[in-house]
Chains A and B, each alone.
Chain A
């Protein structure tokens, strides 16, 4: 029995030692792996491979650049077209709005000018009428004044002529017929005035 136990103990000890050893190795491998991960080791590539890789890389790069250029060109064309359309649309709208505003302003100016012209015409007409009335009244007054002056002058001339022609020899008897005829001709007027008839 003791032997068995001893054997078992020896086995267990052996197993234990093996476990410790394996564990130690595992730990070392883990550390190495970590070390490889943190510090990559330079890859050693051969010259032909490098040349091949460079050629591939170059062709791939050129292809990508070509694609990008083509794509950029397409985008640029579309953008330019859109931009052109937008500019055209904006320009048309702005011009239309400006033209509308211009027409409106022009209409307002025309309306104001028409009103001003109407007022000027009215003022001129009013002035013309006033001037004409004033001139007519002045002319009438002057005409009346001249006629009165002429009458007075003519009266003086006639009086002087009569006085000088007749001298002192006025024959009233010869005039009585004329006087009575004048009275008869205006009898109604004289009677109406004296009797107060209308």
Chain B
């Protein structure tokens, strides 16, 4: 079964965070193995973010968390080259709104990609999507500017 990044890891920052957590967990696992061999008390298992847990679970898919499996996961995550899409909205989306947008992009555009969100109040409403090659502007501001003839017409009428 092909591994897919969970929807919760949607941004480059989250991916970096997951890579850091996995690296930290791998280091802890190695040190813990040595400690066990030396008969020294082991350290507490480090806390991971919810996203990291989801990634590790998805990667292991029920298999035991061996050192090799974690190393493979780390290499995989470091080698990932996913397209990044920057989304600008009138305000920063909440968790539900982010998940809705991420799901939409992964289901309709590309299954594996990273999204980053930026807020710009001047847009009024709508969305700006900046892909590696293009900018898709579906904002109210854009619509108002494109239909400026109507503004003039309405102004005259009023």
A and B: real partners?
A: yes
Minimum CB–CB distance for A158 against chain B, Å:
5
Contacts of A190 in B (CB 8 A): 105, 108-109, 129, 131, 136
- Contact in complex: A166, B134 (CB < 8 Å): no
Would B131 and A193 count as touching, CB distance under 8 A? yes
A193 and B134 alpha carbons, distance in the complex (Å): 7
Asked whether, in the complex, the Cβ of B125 is within 8 Å of the Cβ of A170, the reply is yes
Residues in B whose Cβ lies below 8 Å from that of A159: 122, 141
B interface residues, how many (CB within 8 angstroms): 35
Q: For residue B126, which residues in chain A have a CB less than 8 angstroms away from its CB? A: 175, 178-179, 182
Q: CB of A95 within 8 A of chain B?
A: no
Q: Does B73 contact A (CB under 8 A)?
A: no
Residue of A nearest to B104 (CB): A183
Q: Kindly state whether residue B25 has any CB partner on chain A within 8 Å.
A: no
Per-residue B-contact encoding for A176-194, CB less than 8 Å = 1, 0 else: 1011101110110111011
B81 vs chain A, min Cβ distance (A): 13
- Please pick, from B108, B122, B145, the residue contacting A191 in the complex, using a CB distance under 8 A: B108
Contact between chains at A151 and B145 (CB < 8 Å) = yes
Which residues of B are in contact with A by a Cβ distance under 8 Å? Answer: 83, 85, 89-91, 93-94, 97, 100-101, 104-105, 108-110, 113, 121-127, 129, 131, 133-134, 136, 138, 140-141, 144-145, 148, 151
